[in-house]
Amino acid sequence: MSYFDTSSPSARRIPVTLLTGFLGSGKTTLLNQLVQQPSMSRALVIINEFGEIGLDHQLFSASTDGEQIELSNGCICCSIRTDLAKTLAEAVWRFSREGKRQFDRLIIETTGLADPAPIVHTLMSETRVARHYALDGIVTTMDAVSGSTTLDRHEEALRQAAMADMLLITKQDVASKEQLDALCHRLSAINPSATQKLLDHGRIDADALLGLGPEDMEARSADIQRWLGEASSEASVAHSPTLSPHALFASVEKAGVQAGMMPAPPRPDPNRHDDHIRAHCFVFERPIRASRLEAWLSLVTSLMGHDMLRIKGMLDIEGRDRPLVIHGVQHLFHPPVELEAWPGGERFSRLIFITRDIPRETLEMTLGDFLDN
């Protein structure tokens, strides 16, 4: 029997959960919890990351043996939509053994800047995809601390909230009651039909996220587009040449992580989402002194405020053997987490900044001053 045989009951379409939510709102944290649970044990996970150096897939693979695909050459809602379609179509045979598919559910974690509508469109309208997959639901994480500000400032967040079947409100433990109430109230106005749940560090019964069953996603998507006042779901993205290296920092290539992560020349710029939002990735080969990095991070977050959207890092800190993972979401820094081992045995620091209207040179100049002294 072939897995292309759609007449067979075992070849029913594969349910897809679209996991979305703004930068740093807790998608990877949730995903790591979900894949530990029996109902997700045969899930294939696709992680789409913004910027040429991805960390999420490494943090995810550190926590599970499950099958995963990393897409980091751009955002699947815009610049690499065709890559998504191709990846989905190929996954059916790529993750098969002796004619049997090795996964029976798909979870797609989008970038924090993704518009879910074009992704839904790809799932439903690309014949080679729609033949095998069916949307099971859109789950959106919302950060209770920064959620209201993010909805004010970023249309992407508004779209993610508006399209959700389930809204998972994260970080209630560090939010004030006013922040939490205001966000829940606002979300009810934006998307009254979505279920809202409070999430503590990603902990939820995975079964609660299954079968959310949008009946007519196409119609709903069109309604939402109208509601958002936009005529088309097609995103247009400006592309620019890739980053130029700086003497202070080892290039990604030198650090030996080129394979599968750096874009080939004609590809869209993976670090650029639109004319304003950029990912700036830095790699350091030598261990970093914690006190200097801390001083620098507090300087840039206080100076650049809301325009510093997200900081992620896996760091080789002087005096420590294990990697330290740091997460900054706008003004909030989460407690760092020490991993058991260096993913893939590659010991070096990587720092990723997702910014609005902050040129790379500004970061390089200040970082250079701090780390040189």
Ligand X SMILES: Nc1nc2c(ncn2[C@@H]2O[C@H](COP(=O)(O)OP(=O)(O)OP(=O)(O)O)[C@@H](O)[C@H]2O)c(=O)[nH]1
Toward ligand X, which CB reaches closer, 12 or 197? 197
Regarding 174 and contact with ligand X (CB under 6 A), the answer is yes
Q: How many residues bind ligand X (CB under 6 A)?
A: 24
Toward ligand X, which CB reaches closer, 304 or 329? 329
Tokens in use for 11? 């070849």
Number of C-beta neighbours around residue 145 at 10 A: 23
> At closest approach, how far in Å is the CB of 352 from ligand X?
8
Toward ligand X, which CB reaches closer, 105 or 327? 327
Collapsing DSSP states into helix, strand and coil, what is residue 208?
A: helix
Stretch that binds ligand X, among 92-100, 167-175, 273-281, 315-323 (CB under 6 A): 167-175
How many angstroms separate the CA atoms of 308 and 329, rounded? 8
Among 17, 20, 29, 33, binds ligand X (CB under 6 A): 29
Regarding 171 and contact with ligand X (CB under 6 A), the answer is yes
Tokens in use for 19? 């996991």
Regarding 56 and contact with ligand X (CB under 6 A), the answer is yes
| 3-state SS record for 60-114 | HHCCCCCCEEEECCCCCCCCCHHHHHHHHHHHHHHCEECCEECCCEEEEECCCCC
* Residue closest to 269 by CA, chosen among 1, 51, 77, 62: 51
Regarding 204 and contact with ligand X (CB under 6 A), the answer is no
Stretch that binds ligand X, among 92-100, 153-161, 193-201, 215-223 (CB under 6 A): 193-201
Site string for ligand X, 105-124 (x = CB under 6 A): -------x------------
Regarding 273 and contact with ligand X (CB under 6 A), the answer is no
How many angstroms separate the CA atoms of 181 and 294, rounded? 33
> At closest approach, how far in Å is the CB of 341 from ligand X?
19
Toward ligand X, which CB reaches closer, 14 or 304? 304
Q: How many CA atoms lie within 13 A of 313 on its CB side?
A: 25
Instruction: Return left, alpha or beta for 6; rule: phi > 0 is left, psi -120 to 50 is alpha, else beta.
Output: alpha
Regarding 201 and contact with ligand X (CB under 6 A), the answer is yes
Regarding 157 and contact with ligand X (CB under 6 A), the answer is no
Q: Under a CB-based contact definition with an 8 Å cutoff, are residues 281 and 329 in contact?
A: no
> At closest approach, how far in Å is the CB of 161 from ligand X?
14
Among 28, 79, 179, 221, binds ligand X (CB under 6 A): 28
Centroid of chain to Cα 257: 20
Is beta strand 68-71 parallel, antiparallel or unpaired with respect to 43-48?
parallel
How many angstroms separate the CA atoms of 73 and 362, rounded? 24
> At closest approach, how far in Å is the CB of 306 from ligand X?
16
Which residues from 301-330 bind ligand X, rule CB under 6 A?
Answer: 310, 312, 327, 329
Regarding 25 and contact with ligand X (CB under 6 A), the answer is yes
Q: Which residues bind ligand X (CB under 6 A)?
A: 21, 23-29, 56, 112, 141, 170-171, 173-174, 199-202, 310, 312, 327, 329, 334
